[in-house]
Structure 1
Amino acid sequence: MHLIYENLIKNLIGFWCGDFKDLDHDGEGYRIEKKVWDAIGEATAASGRTTPLAYGPAVPNFTEEGVRMTADMYSFWFQYLGPVLLGKAFKNKDVYAHFVELVKLINLCLKFNITHDEVQEIEDGFIWWVEEYERIYYRMDPDRLSACPVTVHALLHIAEGIRMLGPVWVYWAFAMERFCGRLGRVIRSRRFPFSNLDNQVLAHAQLTQLKNMYPKLRQELSLTGGQKKATTWEYQIPTAFDPDKLYEKYALVAPRQVDPHIPPAVYTKLAAALVTRFSPLNAKKEDLIPIDRAKQLLNSSKIEAWGRLRRLECGDTMLASEIVRRESEDRRDATFVRYDNLVDENARRFHGKTKLVATTSYGQLNYVYLIKIPPAADIKIATTTYVALAVIAQCDRPVQHRSGLDIHVYTKLRASEVVDIATVQALVGRVRWENQFAIFDRSGDLARAVFAEGDDSDNED
């Protein structure tokens, strides 16, 4: 962890700013102009408001004097912000490509599961990266030998470490940094700081040992004073009303509004979503449930609006922007999400056969509605059924970022659409740069919808 975030990244930034050791950086293709670097720092600080708290601490403007950066902050900036903010910063395009390749290699190292072929890819990749580093920064000049610290050579041994110890997420942690940070906050003696530090380490070790020996004393020995953790009212849809178990991994979280006011445009889209939900697959136009019947169904249903949607099993908590109050200036934005749904490629063809394709989309979560639908024999609803829908303002035609990473850019939001909450996968972060927003997603392959394959025949059930 420290090899990359506390050493290599700092050294690269030193090159880009022109203050790495006593080397001559003037006119080099890796130098970034001061006004560009200052703009990058400002955009970095501003990204804190558009990035959910779940992504980690907000990164400050590190171009300012006296700003302290932790390894956690360097990690976040390196993986998500750097590829966006550095896109056009270098005079030599090879420098940016070299940086992006490092990001790809580290992302590969951090995968939850890793194959032997991927380990070999890491090894070959770092060999190439170090050779390019020598060409770009060392320039094969003995007078620039200080540009090659041992930390660059250590990159060549990462693959070997993975073969010996397994995926790096097991041991690339910030445990020691967090431990030292906690100790730093409890030092009270200015006259004898080191004695005070020794006593704090000893006392912490003694309390930890007592907790391990007597588990029942953990609460009594807690340094939080025995305060109970604040709980938030949440509701999980019972399986009795969710026979297909669509919502078993989701919970609706307060605030809750019973019989909420629903804007007319949203109401119509909710009805259209029910038409799609309860009409047969591949149904002809005349076989679809009439929109007026769907609105009648909504009128006879009990509707609740919820302010938060939580994915269970350590998933994200996503906020509905039109329900949860967000007046605080330093509030981190947790309303933008990634959702995976099925889109009909032939929707614009009047006589085209339905062809559903899995599509990944991004947008701002506006509303979450729980609709309790009563039995309706004419549309084959035998018992009370719960349907949970999300109203999302979709990002308009996001395209992949020039880096080739899992980053997408968009310029504006489209009109809202209604999808099932089971399609909502994870929170995403954003950073504004070059008059557009870049979307980054930390979930990777761990939060992707998997759609069951069905036949092409009409679904008449």
Structure 2
Amino acid sequence: MPKRIWEKIGEIMDKNKNNKTMPSEFGRLPTNIYRYSNSFKDEEWTNWTCLYSLPLLVNYLKNPRLLNGWAAYVLACRICIKHTITQNELANISKSFQEFWKSYERDYTKKDISRLPAFKIVFHYLLHIQESIKDCGPCWAFWQYPIEHLYGMLQPMVCSRLYPYKNLVNSIIIMERFNHLKYLPKFHDQIFPKEEKKQYNDNQVFALDNNVEEL
């Protein structure tokens, strides 16, 4: 699609960023895909693919075959991220990814050898996701969200370009030593201040004498 179309889509996403009615289950609020797609992580790409792409592209993909091909990909992705997947859904994953592949081959590359670089190897991998789920279970069992989160924690700890690995090891050791100070009574009260119990007005809190829980 032309650059101006992506700019419009990005503007729409920005306008909805402050939408307070958006369900919290959606995770992060939509991020302008035109401006920040290069810094998108797995969560942003998942939200874009499964939640925002079809509503935002429906008015710009004028060719129904292009939209249907992308819709097949979105359907397969939505099933893949489910925590439990039935045998019927597993068959739908394979069918939908095959539909997307055929659509991509027909409408984008048009079986033209000069467009061979457009056949990314990752598109071929899509055809094997059904087998991977059969062998390893649902995608959440082996996807990369946890390791990306870990990388996000480790990267700021590296400040030395000359000895990055040694710097990382030392930073982790210092952090863990600090975390263990809370178990030493001698240092606990000095470093970790006591949490003050919140005080509520009687007209704001309801509690029973024999119950710790407050409402």
Do the structures match in fold with TM over 0.5? Answer: yes
Deviation at 1:35, TM superposition (A): 2.8
Deviation at 1:205, TM superposition (A): 6.8
Q: Which has the higher contact order (CA 8 A, sep 6+)?
A: 1
Q: Distance in 2 between matches of 1:152 and 1:207?
A: 41
Q: Show the counterpart of 1:117.
A: 88
Deviation at 1:183, TM superposition (A): 2.4
Farther off after superposition, 37-46 or 199-208: 199-208
Q: Distance in 2 between matches of 1:218 and 1:162?
A: 43
Q: Show the counterpart of 2:29.
A: 58
Q: Show the counterpart of 1:204.
A: 172
Q: Secondary structure at the match of 1:47?
A: helix
Q: Show the counterpart of 1:146.
A: 117
Q: Show the counterpart of 1:165.
A: 136
Q: Quickly say closer, same or farther: Cα 1:65–1:168, change in 2 above 3 A.
A: closer
Q: Secondary structure at the match of 2:34?
A: coil
Q: Distance in 2 between matches of 1:231 and 1:67?
A: 45
Q: Show the counterpart of 1:99.
A: 70
Q: Show the counterpart of 2:163.
A: 195
Deviation at 1:207, TM superposition (A): 6.0
Deviation at 1:160, TM superposition (A): 0.4
AA partner of residue 105 (structure 2):
E
Q: Quickly say closer, same or farther: Cα 1:55–1:128, change in 2 above 3 A.
A: closer
Matched, 1:38 2:7: yes
Q: Distance in 2 between matches of 1:140 and 1:40?
A: 30
AA partner of residue 161 (structure 2):
P
Q: Distance in 1 between matches of 2:8 and 2:196?
A: 40
Q: Structure 2: which 5+ runs fail to align?
A: 185-190, 207-215
Q: Distance in 1 between matches of 2:14 and 2:127?
A: 33
Work out whether residues 5 and 60 of structure 2, in 8 Å CA contact, stay in contact via their aligned partners in 1. Answer: yes
Deviations 1:379-399 (A, max 9, x none): xxxxxxxxxxxxxxxxxxxxx
* Structure 1 segment 265-344 matched on structure 2, within 5 A: none
Q: Quickly say closer, same or farther: Cα 1:227–1:112, change in 2 above 3 A.
A: farther
Matched, 1:68 2:39: yes
Q: Quickly say closer, same or farther: Cα 1:141–1:75, change in 2 above 3 A.
A: same
Work out whether residues 62 and 68 of structure 1, in 8 Å CA contact, stay in contact via their aligned partners in 2. Answer: no
Q: Show the counterpart of 2:187.
A: none
- How many residue pairs align between the two structures? 198
Q: Distance in 2 between matches of 1:129 and 1:229?
A: 55
AA partner of residue 31 (structure 2):
P
Deviation at 1:148, TM superposition (A): 0.5
Q: Quickly say closer, same or farther: Cα 1:54–1:184, change in 2 above 3 A.
A: farther
Higher helix share: 2
Identical aligned residues as a percent: 24
Q: Secondary structure at the match of 1:58?
A: coil
Q: Show the counterpart of 1:346.
A: none
Deviation at 1:124, TM superposition (A): 2.5
Deviation at 1:54, TM superposition (A): 5.7
Higher strand share: 1
Q: Quickly say closer, same or farther: Cα 1:113–1:194, change in 2 above 3 A.
A: farther
Deviation at 1:36, TM superposition (A): 2.4
Deviations 1:124-157 (A, max 9, x none): 2222221221112211001100110110100011
Work out whether residues 61 and 67 of structure 1, in 8 Å CA contact, stay in contact via their aligned partners in 2. Answer: no
Q: Quickly say closer, same or farther: Cα 1:219–1:54, change in 2 above 3 A.
A: farther
Q: Structure 1: which 5+ runs fail to align?
A: 1-31, 234-253, 259-303, 307-369, 371-461
Q: Secondary structure at the match of 2:127?
A: helix
Q: Secondary structure at the match of 1:88?
A: coil
Q: Secondary structure at the match of 1:99?
A: helix
Q: Distance in 2 between matches of 1:93 and 1:168?
A: 30
Q: Secondary structure at the match of 1:98?
A: helix
Deviations 1:335-378 (A, max 9, x none): xxxxxxxxxxxxxxxxxxxxxxxxxxxxxxxxxxx9xxxxxxxx
Q: Distance in 1 between matches of 2:69 and 2:196?
A: 46
Work out whether residues 102 and 129 of structure 1, in 8 Å CA contact, stay in contact via their aligned partners in 2. Answer: yes
Cα RMSD of the aligned pairs, angstroms, is 3.6
Q: Distance in 2 between matches of 1:113 and 1:137?
A: 33
Deviations 1:28-75 (A, max 9, x none): xxxx23332211001112322224566333343232379622222111
Work out whether residues 105 and 126 of structure 1, in 8 Å CA contact, stay in contact via their aligned partners in 2. Answer: yes
AA partner of residue 49 (structure 1):
N
Q: Show the counterpart of 2:54.
A: 83
Q: Quickly say closer, same or farther: Cα 1:162–1:231, change in 2 above 3 A.
A: farther
